[in-house]
Structure 1
């Protein structure tokens, strides 16, 4: 990166800022049109978040320098991260850069390799199919709520195993929506407001404390379950190829971290579990809701997707080993991730006075990058508001990957990306296999930028009666 003394040009300031609040009114009123409009003003654009300046990077090549090439000059931080850290501690997504982050990431990495995730695949499929099969036919349902509930249940099975007590799973399911709502509130309010002893602040703190207690119970149960599973394997079954798989199904991915508890400590285990839960639910649930919506708007895409599922699975339920044979399903999901996020604004903090794209950024300033902005860049994604899964086929994908930053990049890239794709494919397949017809019953949803880009409303009805194929 250029030295601070290098020749620089004045950083353009976005128009429309107000005294004291800067561009906060635009970020609150029309955040997505505002953030994408900044591309017109330059590769780095200054905005005001309240009285504090922030520097928005609109060029994906510069964002990759922030995340990869010159990552040491941009630490994990900024308003969003600071707000999350207050309540969720130093989990992998919020802990500061340095030795602690590197150690914890190294300890957690085995949880998320493809082979380890595969041990959880069929248990997740069973959980999801059971939940989706309970829906009543032709009854309008809140898609966003359903997808978040299913995502949480599948993730709990993957994380803690198949024998998590029902009362713990029920409390997690009841608690997490309120936790996520409170977390979003904390990120958009001024820090001094979140520190006041207001009822909403106290309620959020109480819920987070309860979540930590639930995680403690799940960890203790998980640890004892793992020991029991090992003890229950008969001596004459040691050579049986199914014994390790059965034990893995019961204990779940979190067993990897339990073996490192002496290095991490109980507080850190809690922080990591909270980070995994909050990071996995909202983003995955949002993506699935938008994917189902797009299928209702593009019957040709839905028909092609169902045909691929039928060709691979025929009349049987999906199995984990089928996922690699569903390339079009992956394209559909990747296009939903591109179009809707999952996160729309992410922050870093400049660790020194630096020059970025010919503009001086002072030490301590927030540097903002937006997956949504980059993934709607017409230079990389022609007609970016159109839903086109074929952007991701083998011929076209290489020209689009440079601006696809939904999972970040570099040393802070989302550790759970492999898991996210697996869970997305499992849930989408389960819905389509269980329900031959899906129909939007609400008005067209509008995108709301909070932490993720979520629908303001979305209801669908499901039928086991096959819909007629669209005419040519």
Structure 2
């Protein structure tokens, strides 16, 4: 039997509207999400320009899965976006090059995110979240995205560093992270030569990055101190036994007590990566979730009924999460509709033929979870908020197009933690407040590092039935 002839590469269409020097950068800065959705009209592979650099956007999720899983050896972590992010993350787990170093670091980090370790940190996270959420003033219009970023960051810092992190360090993390994320996006879409100039914005970004690394060092040193005083913890933490983690310690102990310790630079890089992955995306997802609940009383009522049936008048616990399927559906629908990751890249290690489209060696290959999760052929009426898309029966049809956490060997290492953090924060807000009232205009999605609301304030009414005290 003779083999079929190889496919003849076709010309990859180029998206219209590119400008000299900046390429499609103005579209990505001004109306990135409509621009990404428009690329589907030009075919499964479309060429755009990131500054002067050509990039190939995959509008078909099946091609994205081929790049991420089947042919992953030919599409390495990298590209214009990751080159800019590496200046922020360093060689953290999300941006380190493929190869032995990535596998070694992933194995080091994996014990942090096993189910038992996450469960052991849930109660301190719930306590911290309850304190923050309960401190809001009733009836006061609040910046929801800022609130959710603060709550998400507080929960994550408690899980990572333990319960003894000074408030001043937590406050500085809260101040720095949004500013640095905006500066990183700017460096992603601008040409290299502009980001290297000694402009005020570039200098401020570098100053903020240095300060972030300095406060990470201080937080790590505080977490490291007790471990040095009790060497018996090294073996138990290294073997992933959460019952031997003393009260108040965080997930970071599994790195600080590993058999092969990380250098100070490596610890900084990993903490920055985890901060972005567990905080920025968490805050964005929760902000959009609360907005949607303010618009859908029926969904909110179903959530409250499920929480009341499982938790009653006590705070949520880790063992409750598997019995809250509708909470998970609501959160998954918020992630589907609003990203939060909207664009990421790989670099072609060699010339590859993707469904008849020739991708030259060294090219940036772009895949967009936001684009796939708004495909009307997979998600009818994609702008409608419908948690029932994620019932077990319907979810099977859509699973191949849900790529918010990536896929393959570079899939998000903290996905299980993210679902836990999202669920306990949403549950705590619902248990504390009875109503969410929009006090701003309807927000519009804006592509920054995540898909954020461009303005969202809400007021809350406290629930009449107080929660019982934890424990």
TM-score (structure 2 length as normaliser): 0.93
Shift of 1:201: 1.6
Deviations 1:389-446 (A, max 9, x none): 0000011110010100000000110101001000000110111111111111100001
Change in Cα spacing, 1:270 to 1:381, as seen in structure 2 (3 Å) is same
Q: In structure 1, which of residues 288, 291, 294 is the aligned counterpart of residue 292 of structure 2?
A: 294
Cα distance in 2 for residues equivalent to 1:250 and 1:279? 23
Shift of 1:143: 0.2
Change in Cα spacing, 1:22 to 1:3, as seen in structure 2 (3 Å) is farther
Contact 1:120–1:249 (CA under 8 A) maintained in structure 2: no
Report the aligned-residue RMSD: 2.2
Query: Aligned residue for 1:365?
Result: 363
Cα distance in 2 for residues equivalent to 1:204 and 1:303? 44
Contact 2:158–2:165 (CA under 8 A) maintained in structure 1: yes
Gaps of 5+ in 1: 233-237, 468-472
Gaps of 5+ in 2: 466-471
Query: Aligned residue for 1:235?
Result: none
Change in Cα spacing, 1:20 to 1:212, as seen in structure 2 (3 Å) is closer
Change in Cα spacing, 1:429 to 1:6, as seen in structure 2 (3 Å) is same
Shift of 1:305: 0.5
Deviations 1:17-73 (A, max 9, x none): 344443333222221111111112111111222332111101111100000010111
Deviations 1:352-385 (A, max 9, x none): 1111121001011110010000001112111111
1:135-174 to structure 2, matched below 5 A, reads 135-174=136-175
Shift of 1:248: 4.3
- SS class of match (2:365): strand
Count of matched residue pairs: 457
Shift of 1:4: 12
- SS class of match (1:54): strand
Cα distance in 2 for residues equivalent to 1:157 and 1:297? 32
**1:99 equivalent in alignment to 2:100:** yes
1:5-20 to structure 2, matched below 5 A, reads 6-20=7-21
Change in Cα spacing, 1:177 to 1:261, as seen in structure 2 (3 Å) is farther
Shift of 1:318: 1.3
Cα distance in 1 for residues equivalent to 2:202 and 2:18? 29
1:457-472 to structure 2, matched below 5 A, reads 457-464=455-462
Query: Aligned residue for 1:189?
Result: 190
**1:419 equivalent in alignment to 2:420:** no
Cα distance in 2 for residues equivalent to 1:101 and 1:295? 40
Change in Cα spacing, 1:246 to 1:427, as seen in structure 2 (3 Å) is farther
Contact 1:225–1:250 (CA under 8 A) maintained in structure 2: no
Deviations 1:192-238 (A, max 9, x none): 22211122222221221121111111111111123457789xxxxx9
Contact 2:48–2:57 (CA under 8 A) maintained in structure 1: yes
Deviations 1:295-328 (A, max 9, x none): 0111110110111011111111212211111000
Cα distance in 2 for residues equivalent to 1:262 and 1:33? 46
Q: In structure 1, which of residues 318, 321, 328 is the aligned counterpart of residue 319 of structure 2?
A: 321
Query: Aligned residue for 1:252?
Result: 250
Cα distance in 1 for residues equivalent to 2:450 and 2:301? 28
Query: Aligned residue for 1:470?
Result: none
Contact 1:3–1:354 (CA under 8 A) maintained in structure 2: no
Query: Aligned residue for 2:215?
Result: 214
Cα distance in 2 for residues equivalent to 1:248 and 1:77? 39
User: Which region of structure 1 is more displaced relative to structure 2, 80-89 or 59-68?
Assistant: 80-89
- SS class of match (1:45): strand
Shift of 1:244: 6.3
TM-score (structure 1 length as normaliser): 0.92
User: Which region of structure 1 is more displaced relative to structure 2, 18-27 or 29-38?
Assistant: 18-27
Contact 1:351–1:364 (CA under 8 A) maintained in structure 2: yes
Change in Cα spacing, 1:175 to 1:23, as seen in structure 2 (3 Å) is closer
Query: Aligned residue for 2:450?
Result: 452
Contact 2:117–2:242 (CA under 8 A) maintained in structure 1: no
Cα distance in 1 for residues equivalent to 2:228 and 2:22? 56
Contact 2:51–2:189 (CA under 8 A) maintained in structure 1: no
Shift of 1:260: 3.0
Query: Aligned residue for 1:285?
Result: 283
